[in-house]
Structure formats: C-alpha cells, structure tokens
Structure 1
Amino acid sequence: MSAEEPLFRVVRGNPTAEELAALVGVILLRSRPTGTPAQAARSAWTRSARPAGVSPVAGHGAWRASGLPR
C-alpha cells in the first residue's frame, strides 16, 4: 500500500462528510486493543481510594460502615 492509496473507499452511495467521520470513528474504536488502557493510566493513589472488588453497600448503617476499616 502506498502513502497515496486510501485506507478505504466508498464503492456505493454518496456519504456526507459527517457520515464518513462517523465511519472513521467506528473503525478507529474497533481497531483499539481490547485491554483497559484507562485503568492502567490511573495513578496508584487513585487506585488505592477504592480497592478492586469492593463496592458500596446500601442499607442500614452503610454510611457508618463506609468509614470503618475492612
């Protein structure tokens, strides 16, 4: 593939610039790795604020329990 050759081309129809932009966005999103890069970018301080697997529980005494060590 040369530098001048497009990555894809429209073979049927006449899409608007907005439709082409939406298509490019979907292609870019689908081509990203399936990992969770957003989690990897979080700092250790942020990760320590809410340990993994611990979710808040609603109910009687939940507010008090939220401040107690686990």
Structure 2
Amino acid sequence: MIKVVRGNPTPEELAAALAVVRARAAAVAAAGGGDAPRVPEAWSAPTRIARTATPPPGPRSWTRTYWPA
C-alpha cells in the first residue's frame, strides 16, 4: 500500500510514482536471489573508522584516543 504523507499530487504524478515502484519491484523479482542474505556495506564497517589499534596505556595516552581522520 502506498500512502501520500505530504503534498497533494496530481493523478498523473501519482501514476508515475506508482509505475516506478512497480517497475523496481518487477526488476527485483526478475533478478531472483531475493532470499540470499545481505552482506553489510563496507562503509559501515567499524574497521574503516578505527584503522589503528587503541594506544597502549600510560601517561598522556588520553591524548591519542581520538578517531583518526
């Protein structure tokens, strides 16, 4: 079910949006493999953010506890 949350689309705009959604659903169904588990995207991997290990404890180690750029 599609529900318009904001705005007041014309019947032509609504038909165009529905055509896009139906075409996308048909393409996914035709591609098959919809039951395969999805692999997490690489951009969300924690290793991408923290590339180095945490600093060893010691005096002034707090100065090195930042997210590397």
TM-score normalised by length of structure 1: 0.38
Relative contact order: is structure 1 or structure 2 higher (C-alpha 8 Å, sep ≥ 6)? Answer: 2
Structure with the bigger percentage of helix: 2
